[in-house]
Structure 1
Amino acid sequence: MTFFESHDARFARFVMGNAPVKKLATGFDWVEGPVWFGDAGCLLFSDIPNNRILRYTPDHGISTYRAPSNYANGHTRDRQGRLLSCEHGTRRVTRTELDGSITVIADSYQGKRLNSPNDIVVTADGAIWFSDPHYGIMTNYEGFAGEQELPCHLYRVDPSGQIEAVLTDFNCPNGLAFSPDEQVLYVADTGRMFSDDPQHIRRFDMTSGRPKGGKVFHSISAGCADGIRCDRDGNLWSSAADGVHCLAPDGALLGKILVPEVVSNLCFGGRAKHQLFITATTSLYAITLNRVGDQKP
């Protein structure tokens, strides 16, 4: 079976011919938002339509971490190791404290309800960045159909709790990732539901902690970019309709990891952060790479 498609000689150093794409679990409806917990040796991810967050451990397989999950989508960890989650059902971003209690990070902006927070990252200064497209309120499949009160923005929440709309010229911002040195921000625009908006990844240079520019970095040729992650060398790994695409820092397509389902998201994990976990429609996959992810902590 062919697991890879090379488009640049550099890609040969990133993959190993004897490391297969493994299906770890299946039978879900639309899985998203993987996040690795190295200290617990497990992966958390969302099965959005079934309103649950699932846990995968190599020794025990799948179990339920939280149900109901308020139709949670994307997750990350903050610098203290706490879980941050984007919830469609409650239209908010939350933090799970170390004692299990829930703190609301953001649920409104300028007196109006958020749409359906989607993906999330934390920077070294402790700021929380999240995208807020409208996918979770357009139908009842991934949450509850409801009125859209705000445009689809990308937000930054200061450690003090102040929320700011930092990018406001997207149709629907989705996946986001910073380069390892946090000097570049990548944001996927997947377009408004039921429209033919352009779909691409945009690149922003960070100046004094704020994104500037925003030129198109890359347009995925099979489907569109949804979840995105950087490795420690600054290569960007993106979801796509045919698998995972690896992009060089200059935007060139280096190669593809072929997956038999539409990929929604991905994250690095495992004992050396050298495994790529892939959420793809109804299943969870993983592959071992000759790369190390940039996730923190």
Structure 2
Amino acid sequence: MAEFRGVQFDDPRLEEVLSGDATPLILHEGTIHGEGTVWQPTEQRLVWSDVPNRRLLGWYPDGHVEVLIDGTWFMNGNAVEHDGTLVHCEHGRRCISRGGDYDNSPEPIVTHYEGKRINSPNDVAVAPDGSIWFTDPIFGIVMPNQGALAEPEIDHRSVYRFDPKSGELTRMADFEQPNGLAFSADGGTLYVSDTSLSLGEVPGFKAGKKHEIITFDVGKEGALSNRRFFCHTDHGYPDGFAVDPRGWVWTTAADGVHIWSPDHCKLGFIPLPVVASNCCFGGVDGRRLFIAATQYLLAIDLIV
């Protein structure tokens, strides 16, 4: 990218993983608000959402891009189940859905909690045990270009765990406005971002104070404990993020992608000239970091 200033190294460990000459590649340009990046191994493709354009897109290693689903219900976050099936967050239908392709709409699998409509699921992750976890802030029901305007039916903004086998939906933790979430590779740690600060961008709403990532220990049947602060971003907020096999957290923000070790050490920073919303690892060898950044789908390759 012409405006790329180079990777900032704050810890020598990052220099072993990312070259000082590394430059983000532009894989695609043309989204309005790219989000929900996920690598789908069974199809060998990167899947991501263009929320306001109501499209689910797929990028392939040969460089071509397909519209996988056109006219979505404002899909945002996406995840992949162990069998390769896609799972989606939908703002418009206010649900978690599964599957879908060029000719068939995804099937809603979570729509209500204790008889009331959930808000607007934002991000989703599949735990090692196959359970589906998602965040449920109000962004998609208060922003016209992100979903359908509606009054919340529930009085909390929470993280949920859905068991596909039993159909049980469990409220796991409450936040001001939960946004991104991801598990460590072993499933023993859950990271959740709270981005209530971003409500200040919505007419008629007051900005909250949260622009941070919170960490939990994950126990039997998903039980959460030891809630604690992990990090915050100075510019913007940690919208979406990825956790690599080392346990490093790569989080997007208004100014790029920030990298943290699991022991709270700031490792470095990849500055970007546009706002980054989400990222994930994938590619043939898993060493490519894909970044959804406003109108771009970007990628930067790791050494190891």
* Normalised-by-shorter TM-score class: over 0.9
Which of 206, 231, 236 pairs up with 2:249? 236
Which of 205, 214, 218 pairs up with 2:231? 218
Render the CA deviation track for 1:49-88: whole Å, top value 9, x for unaligned: 0111111123242221101111000001001110000000
Which of 171, 178, 181 pairs up with 1:165? 171
Q: CA RMSD in A?
A: 1.6
Render the CA deviation track for 1:127-186: whole Å, top value 9, x for unaligned: 110000110000211111111112211000023111011002x10111111111111111
Q: How does 1:1-297 map to 2 (within 5 A)?
A: 2-96=5-99, 102-150=106-154, 151-159=156-164, 160-168=166-174, 170-191=175-196, 193-194=199-200, 195-208=207-220, 209-291=222-304
Asked if the contact 1:242/1:260 (under 8 Å) is kept, the reply is yes
Q: Secondary structure at the match of 1:249?
A: coil
**Which residue does 2:203 correspond to in 1?**
none
Unaligned runs of 5+ in 2: 201-206
Quick one: percent identity of the two aligned structures? 39
TM-score by length of 2: 0.91
Greater CA drift, 112-121 or 203-212: 203-212
Deviation at 1:97, TM superposition (A): 6.5
Q: Secondary structure at the match of 1:11?
A: helix
Aligned length: 290
1:205 partner amino acid: D
CA distance in structure 2 between the aligned counterparts of 1:100 and 1:18, rounded to whole angstroms: 44
Render the CA deviation track for 1:220-263: whole Å, top value 9, x for unaligned: 12221111111111111111111111100011110011221111
CA distance in structure 2 between the aligned counterparts of 1:149 and 1:32, rounded to whole angstroms: 26
Deviation at 1:2, TM superposition (A): 3.2
Unaligned runs of 5+ in 1: 292-297
Kindly report structure 1 stretches of 4+ aligned residues shifted beyond 4 Å. 97-101
CA distance in structure 2 between the aligned counterparts of 1:4 and 1:249, rounded to whole angstroms: 20
CA distance in structure 1 between the aligned counterparts of 2:8 and 2:108, rounded to whole angstroms: 43
1:107 partner amino acid: T
